């Protein structure tokens, strides 16, 4: 999967979750191949041959949405996240 396709997937999931945020394609590049080029471990599994690993992307997206939901709840003064 390319960074473009990954960003599109994440943005669709954010929209489904009611989060008004858009992930730019560059962010997916930075979290994967750019980190590898800097001799760092990518945040989302990535290989040059296959691109972004879909299962790893789904796992990362779930965690990202959960963090955004918690942050939004704190900002809105909610004491619990349902």
User: 69: burial class by Cβ within 10 Å (0-12, 13-18, 19+)?
Assistant: middle
Sequence spans of domains, the chain: 3-75
- Taking only the tens place, the pLDDT of each residue in 6-53 is 999 999 999 999 988 899 999 999 888 888 888 888 889 999 899 999
Phi, psi of 18 (to 5 degrees): 80, 20
Please, what is the average pLDDT of the chain? 87
What pLDDT is recorded for position 48?
A: 86
In this predicted structure, the answer to whether residue 78 has a pLDDT above a threshold of 60 is no
Element (H, E) at 51: strand 51-52
């Amino acid at each position: 999967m390319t960074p473009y396709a990954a960003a599109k997937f994440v943005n669709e999931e954010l929209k489904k979750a009611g989060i008004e945020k858009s992930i730019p394609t560059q962010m997916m590049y930075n979290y994967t191949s750019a980190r590898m080029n800097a001799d760092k471990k990518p945040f989302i599994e990535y290989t040059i041959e296959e691109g972004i690993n879909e299962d790893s992307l789904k796992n990362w997206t779930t965690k990202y949405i959960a963090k955004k939901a918690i942050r939004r709840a704190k900002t809105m003064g909610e004491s619990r996240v349902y």
